[in-house]
Structure 1
Amino acid sequence: MNILITAGGTSEKIDNVRSITNHSTGRLGKEIGDTFLAQGHHVTYVTTPQAVRPTSESNLTLIEIETTKDLESALLEQFGHQTFDGIIHSMAVSDFTTETTLSEDLFIEKLAAKLTKDGDLSDLANLTEELYHSLDEIGKTIQQEKKIPSGTDRLLLFLKKNPKIIAMLREQQPQAVLVGFKLLVGVSTEELVRVGQSILAKNRCDFVLANDLEEIHGDQHIGILIDKQGHTETAQTKNEIAKLIVKKVEEKWRNQ
């Protein structure tokens, strides 16, 4: 099988020396990659600089990215010249990316200038509309500094929503066995399964691995694999999760 795996966590730049990221280590993705490789499959592994990655082998192709935009471009480039039998989208993708950054003084100056040049703002509806319009314009301010000065008491960071990478995977690779992932924190098993099922249906996945951060400690990593029929199987460690995913993807691919 020709397998694509995304793993690790994307990072969104604030300036040339600072970024926003998450705590993903890529350890689960590495385990899944190693398990597919051990079964003789070819793996294209898309990951981030700080994440761990599978042991190098002749049938492993590594692609390194940083931002969500990088990820989108890398995937579209791969989809343009090869077809995948399975896609394991385990990467922790940033929901937001930086739009611009302003000091407190500059933000207040820009907002005041925009509001005072407009019409009557004594009406709450008009004021609300102008605030939304002003924030939209201020958010488009070009970030000039390569390194934002640290002299301001407050730094205002504007974030805009990233595209959902998982949403394009089925459209781009309709034949692939698609495995999505959902991480929640401190929820019941019932809620974890419910949310996992909604992600599966919304993104037309074949499977979703739902897990709770509070159930990940050392070697323990409890994950619930959900299929389109609503069946669930639970694994207790990263190794068990990897073996379960590889087994289910192989079975699904053979039976298509």
Structure 2
Amino acid sequence: MMLEGKKILLGVCGSIASYKSATLTRLLVKAGANVKVIMTKDASHFVSPLTFSTLSKSPVLSSYFKEDTGEWNSHVELGLWADLMLIAPASANTIAKFAHGICDNLLTATYLSAKCPIYFAPAMDLDMWQHPSTKQNVAILGNYGNIQINPGYGELASGLTGEGRMAEPEDIIRFLETSLSTSLPLSGKRALVTAGPTYEAIDPVRFIGNHSSGKMGFAIAEELAKQGADVTLISGPSALELKGKRIRRINVISSDEMAEAVEKHFPESNIAVMSAAVADYKPKYVSTEKIKKDSSEFGMELVKTTDILARAGQMKQAGQILIGFALETQNEEANAIKKLEKKNLDFIVLNSLNDEGAGFKGDTNKITIIDRYLNTERFPLKTKEDVAIDICKKITGLI
């Protein structure tokens, strides 16, 4: 979901519609958002701050100072903290203050400090909504770049029927998700990511494998999804769980299974990041029974596995972006460049086992990105989540 992990400031104004904001808070939290609620003084007459603090799992903010400690609730820090600010309900009074820069409470001060996208859901009676001053103030907010969530039509608190009802909480959630998804750099793009090891069977209980955990590939899949891509993750054996609910996961075991899955899904992908540590060789013959330990020596004939990255490079069409990985121990950059050119990649991500903190299983990595024009960018040791951000920035640059 697009709201997962988002830091959201929810402003609640004095309005009978503020009861809907309690449901809205619950839905935002359910969607995975981190919510902080700012209430105006009048809003607390309609719904108790305790309701919002319980639903948001965070103290409600309503004044410049915390009453119990006297500490300052910094509107500047709040404005910088948020990924988006949502005012629901937005009363005619608060809309007018926003439009004309009146800063007489914590909500209006935070609004003026916010650097994030701002959404507002008006709620007022029919005559107030239709008044020329309200229309002018709403237009001003639109010119500021604020995004209006249109009010609904129906029975109002006065008994009149018409426009002015705050949009329903479920509709607001859908509006936000649609707005966020279409504004992301990879919106509408389909991405394929491979991750983890492959296990090549020797007999029913033994296999040839490697130490890959899949952490790097999983982090890349998560970041691509955050940037709006529709992600398919093909994962070898891994105990990792995905956080993003919008990622489709396909579990495989062997290199043959991974090759088959890539062959199926690569043609429909705009972006493919091949980060899996695929076995280079597999047993030529697989025993149907467990091999007994009858002698002090044991021989096995191996054959090459399908070169999945090379096959993708052959299948690649104009407009597709293909990224490979190179884990090296010697002549790192020369070997990476050879792989980059041979396999028709747009760029290659190089990491070396000689770098402390890089490689399999750990939570950090140190990479160098080399593109098809041999431009080289070296990065310091970072968490794999931050490395994924660097890789995805490079991808969005190519897009």
1:215 aligned counterpart, secondary structure: coil
Query: Is 1:243 the counterpart of 2:383 in the alignment?
Result: no
Greater mean deviation of Cα atoms: 154-163 or 199-208 = 154-163
How many positions carry a matched residue from both structures?
204
Correspondence for 2:307 among 149, 159, 164: 164
In the alignment, the residues of structure 2 paired with residue 30 and residue 216 of structure 1 have an alpha-carbon distance, to the nearest angstrom, of 21
The offset of 1:250, in angstroms, is 1.3
1:139-218 maps to which residues of 2 (within 5 A)?
143=286, 145-174=288-317, 175-185=319-329, 187=330, 191-217=331-357, 218=362
Greater mean deviation of Cα atoms: 157-166 or 88-97 = 157-166
* Structure 1 counterpart of 2:242, one-letter code: P
Question: For the Cα contact (< 8 Å) 1:180–1:209, is it kept in 2?
Answer: yes
In the alignment, the residues of structure 2 paired with residue 42 and residue 225 of structure 1 have an alpha-carbon distance, to the nearest angstrom, of 24
What is aligned with 1:234? Answer: 378
What is aligned with 1:66? Answer: 253
Question: For the Cα contact (< 8 Å) 1:15–1:146, is it kept in 2?
Answer: yes
1:58-97 maps to which residues of 2 (within 5 A)?
59-79=246-266, 83-97=268-282
1:220-231 maps to which residues of 2 (within 5 A)?
220-231=364-375
Question: For the Cα contact (< 8 Å) 1:10–1:94, is it kept in 2?
Answer: yes
The offset of 1:38, in angstroms, is 1.4
The offset of 1:170, in angstroms, is 2.4
1:26-105 maps to which residues of 2 (within 5 A)?
26-57=214-245, 59-79=246-266, 83-100=268-285
What is aligned with 1:12? Answer: 200
* Structure 2 counterpart of 1:249, one-letter code: I
Question: For the Cα contact (< 8 Å) 1:200–1:207, is it kept in 2?
Answer: yes
The offset of 1:16, in angstroms, is 0.5
Between structure 1 and structure 2, the one with the greater Rg is 2
CA shift in 2, pair 1:54/1:145, >3 Å: closer
The offset of 1:64, in angstroms, is 0.7
* Structure 2 counterpart of 1:91, one-letter code: A
Q: Which aligned runs of 4 or more in structure 1 are off by greater than 3 angstroms?
A: none
* Structure 1, gaps ≥5 residues long: 101-142
The offset of 1:52, in angstroms, is 2.3
Task: Determine what percentage of the aligned residue pairs are the same residue.
Answer: 28
Superposition RMSD on alpha carbons, in Å?
A: 1.7
In the alignment, the residues of structure 1 paired with residue 288 and residue 249 of structure 2 have an alpha-carbon distance, to the nearest angstrom, of 33
The offset of 1:156, in angstroms, is 1.0
Question: For the Cα contact (< 8 Å) 1:11–1:68, is it kept in 2?
Answer: yes
Greater mean deviation of Cα atoms: 225-234 or 2-11 = 225-234
In the alignment, the residues of structure 1 paired with residue 244 and residue 386 of structure 2 have an alpha-carbon distance, to the nearest angstrom, of 22
The offset of 1:164, in angstroms, is 1.0
In the alignment, the residues of structure 2 paired with residue 203 and residue 35 of structure 1 have an alpha-carbon distance, to the nearest angstrom, of 25
Greater mean deviation of Cα atoms: 38-47 or 170-179 = 170-179
Question: For the Cα contact (< 8 Å) 2:198–2:254, is it kept in 1?
Answer: yes
* Structure 2, gaps ≥5 residues long: 1-188
CA shift in 2, pair 1:54/1:234, >3 Å: farther
In the alignment, the residues of structure 1 paired with residue 287 and residue 214 of structure 2 have an alpha-carbon distance, to the nearest angstrom, of 33
Structure 1 residues 30-70: Cα deviation after superposition (integer angstroms, max 9, x where no partner): 1111111111211100001225253241x211001111111
In the alignment, the residues of structure 2 paired with residue 22 and residue 144 of structure 1 have an alpha-carbon distance, to the nearest angstrom, of 20
In the alignment, the residues of structure 2 paired with residue 183 and residue 61 of structure 1 have an alpha-carbon distance, to the nearest angstrom, of 26
Question: For the Cα contact (< 8 Å) 1:183–1:212, is it kept in 2?
Answer: yes
The offset of 1:18, in angstroms, is 0.6
Relative to total residues, which structure has the larger strand share, 1 or 2? 1
CA shift in 2, pair 1:224/1:53, >3 Å: farther
The offset of 1:171, in angstroms, is 2.4
What is aligned with 2:126? Answer: none
In the alignment, the residues of structure 2 paired with residue 193 and residue 240 of structure 1 have an alpha-carbon distance, to the nearest angstrom, of 22
2:299 aligned counterpart, secondary structure: strand
